[in-house]
Amino acid sequence: MIVAIDGPAGAGKSTVAKSLAKRLGLHFLDTGAMYRAVTLQVLRRGLDPASGRDCAAVAGSIELDFDAQGKVLIGGVPGEPHIRSREVTGLVSAVSAHAEVRDPIVALQRALAARWGGLVAEGRDMTTVVFPDAPHRFFLNASSHERARRRALELGTPDDLERIRLEIERRDALDSSRGIAPLRVGPGVREIDTDGKDATDVLELLERLIEARAP
Ligand code: DC
C-alpha cells in the first residue's frame, strides 16, 4: 500500500508520516531528506546550487539509502544532522527546482516503493507527480504562524519565531511557484488543516480516513 502525503514546510508531515508508517507496518520515506542530501553534496563539492548541470552531476551519482529509523544515508554515511543546517535549508529549494535533479530522485523514490512493497511517503509532489495513483493521498496544511511555532519548539529556539516564519514563507513561495512539480493540492487529494490539532489528532484522523477507504 502507498500513502502519499504532501504539504508545506513545518506542517507536521514527518511526525505524522513516521507514526502512520509504524502503525501500518510500512516503510517511511522522507523525500525532503533526499533533496537536502543532494544540496549538502553540492555545497561540499564547491558546486553552484543555481546551476542545473552542477546539481545534476551530484543527483545522478549520489548513493542514497535509508537506515532502519528512516534516516537518510549518503554513500552509507548518516546525512543527519548536516542536511538540516541553515545553509542547506536556505539552498534546498533552489537545488530541488532543477528538472535534472528531480528526474533521478523521483526514479529512486519509485524504486524504493517497489523494493519495499509499499510505503508512507512525504514531501511536496508525492500526491501529484510521484505517486498520483496512490489510494491514499493527503495534503497537510497549517498557517505559517502555527508552522513556525512548531518548528521553533522542535528546534528549541522560541526567540527565533519571526525569523523561522519568514524563512518558511520564503520556502513556501519558492516551492509553490516553481515550474516543475510545484507544491499544490492536486485533484482528488484530501486537504487537512492541522491548525489547532496535535500530531495524535492528525494521526487518528488519517487512520480513520484510510480505514474508511480500505478496499
Ligand atoms: O520537507 P523538507 O523541509 O525537508 O524539504 C526540503 C526541501 O526539499 C523543500 O523546501 C522542497 C524540496 N522538496 C521537494 O522539492 N520535493 C519533495 N518531494 C520534498 C522536498
Backbone angles phi, psi at 179, to 5 degrees: -70, -35
What is the best residue among 14, 18, 35, 176 to mutate for testing ligand 1's pocket, by most ligand atoms within 8 Å of CB? Answer: 35
According to DSSP, the residues that pair with 29 across neighbouring strands are: 121
Give CA–CA dist 87/13, Å, rounded: 22
Domain boundaries defined on the chain = 1-26+119-208, 31-117
Give pTM, 2 decimals: 0.95
pLDDT for 215 equals 61
pLDDT for 159 equals 85
Answer whether residue 129 shows pLDDT above 90: yes
pLDDT for 158 equals 80
Could you list the beta-strand ranges (E) of the chain. Answer: 2-6, 27-30, 64-66, 72-74, 77-78, 119-123, 136-141, 190-193
How many angstroms does the Cα of residue 7 sit away from the middle of ligand 1?
9
Nearest CA to ligand 1 atom 8: 32
Give yes or no on whether 1-26+119-208 and 31-117 have one common fold.
yes
**Ligand 1 pocket residue status of 98, Cβ below 6 Å:** no
Nearest CA to ligand 1 atom 13: 32
Residue range 9-30: mean pLDDT, rounded: 95
Q: What is the mean pLDDT of the chain?
A: 95
- Under CATH, which number does the domain 31-117 receive? 3.40.50.300
Answer whether residue 214 shows pLDDT above 80: no
- 10 pLDDT band, cuts 50/70/90, is confident
Q: What's the CATH superfamily of 1-26+119-208? A: P-loop containing nucleotide triphosphate hydrolases (3.40.50.300)
Answer whether residue 25 shows pLDDT above 70: yes
